[in-house]
Amino acid sequence: MIIVPGSASRKLAESLAKKIDASIAHIEQQRFPDSECYLRIHTDLHGEDVVLVQTAFPDENIIELYLLQHAIRDFKPAKLTTVIPYLGYARQDKKFNPGEALSAQAIIELVQKLSDAVITVDVHSKSILEWFDVHVEEVSGMPPLGSYLREMKTPPEIVIAPDEGAKERAAAVAKTIGCEYDYLQKHRLSGEKVEIKPKELDVSGRTVAIVDDIISTGGTIIEATKQLKKNGAERVYAACTHGIYAKNALPRLQDVCDTIISTDTVERETSVVSVANEIAKKL
């Protein structure tokens, strides 16, 4: 098995290669002055089982992913498995007005076109997996996040989901740690004032981890952290699979959260947890 690393997922690809004892293909990649991508694969992939690892975010990395798939197919490999650690556009899974692009479906059609199989991590809505025509596997970043949190100097005593829809993710992390879990509810106190608090558990004097699949603008996490500390939480950690941190979210999160943790699906300074082992199990 040979792993082809995309530029957006080089560290994850290297970690994965060690897990499965695979070699890493030699890739030449550069940008022309007009920002178009040039790619060349120097390793012979003819007849090999090839695993391409490339996050599909932001847009330029989707183009690179497709160009890499095209270059790999020229070698006539035995099999191409595309590992997409973060599947961009996955949240655009519904049409609300006539003429809107169903973006999640469009990206899936593109990334599966040259693939024999696809592996992705924590898609926001599992229903979009039905749009794949090739074999697809989803892995979860929650168990490795839980393992990391469990080994912290002060591990969480409660794991909290930002809403009821993310409760299963909180449960998975809490199970790994061996602690309680809950989810946040919003209570409107007036036309302008909203209180966010756990549905059942008391956080007073306790260390809390808020977990979710994605942290994008961070608004919900920031407000929830403030409210949890008002309710007496001693420490609040924010943990996610995909650290997007749009609109300068990371420094704003760092102002209120005690620790911010993400996986290496999107390579950030907070990427202290790897999903390589979870992907290796599927391979």
SS3 201: coil
| Per-residue pLDDT, 155 | 97
Q: Is 273 part of a structural domain of the chain?
A: no
Residue 213's contacts (CB-CB under 8 Å, 6 or more residues apart) are 122, 124, 141, 166, 169, 240, 241, 242
Same domain, 16 and 67: yes
The CA-atom distances, in angstroms, between 49 and each of 118, 208, 283 are 13, 43, 11
Same domain, 36 and 150: no
**Residue 32's domain is classified under what CATH number?**
3.40.50.2020
Same domain, 136 and 214: no
SS3 39: strand
Same domain, 80 and 162: no
Q: Is 272 part of a structural domain of the chain?
A: no
| Per-residue pLDDT, 189 | 55
* 147 CB neighbour count, 10 Å cutoff: 14
For residue 186, indicate whether it is catalytic: yes
Report how far residue 67's alpha carbon sits from residue 61's, in angstroms, rounded to the nearest whole number.
10
Q: Which domain holds residue 118?
A: 2-140+278-282
Tell me which DSSP letter residue 282 carries.
H
Same domain, 183 and 87: no
* Number of domains within the chain: 2
Which one is catalytic: 186, 247, 281, 282? 186
Q: Which residues pair with 257 in a beta bridge?
A: none
| Per-residue pLDDT, 199 | 80
Same domain, 52 and 89: yes
Report how far residue 79's alpha carbon sits from residue 116's, in angstroms, rounded to the nearest whole number.
6
Residue 278's contacts (CB-CB under 8 Å, 6 or more residues apart) are 121, 139, 140, 141, 143, 144
User: pTM, whole model, 2 decimals?
Assistant: 0.94
In the block, residue with structure tokens 């977990």: 211
Same domain, 175 and 187: yes
Same domain, 161 and 110: no
Tell me which DSSP letter residue 205 carries.
T
Same domain, 6 and 136: yes
| Per-residue pLDDT, 112 | 97
pLDDT tens-digit profile, the chain (283 residues): 999 999 999 999 999 999 999 999 999 999 999 999 999 999 999 999 999 999 999 999 999 999 999 999 999 999 999 999 999 999 999 999 999 999 999 999 999 999 999 999 999 889 999 999 999 999 999 999 999 999 999 999 999 999 888 999 999 999 999 999 999 987 655 555 556 778 888 999 999 999 999 999 998 899 999 989 998 999 999 999 999 999 999 999 999 999 999 999 999 999 999 999 999 999 9
Residue 99's contacts (CB-CB under 8 Å, 6 or more residues apart) are none
| Per-residue pLDDT, 148 | 98
First to last CA, the chain: 10
Same domain, 85 and 174: no
Q: Is 65 part of a structural domain of the chain?
A: yes
Same domain, 91 and 168: no
Same domain, 123 and 44: yes
Q: Is 270 part of a structural domain of the chain?
A: no
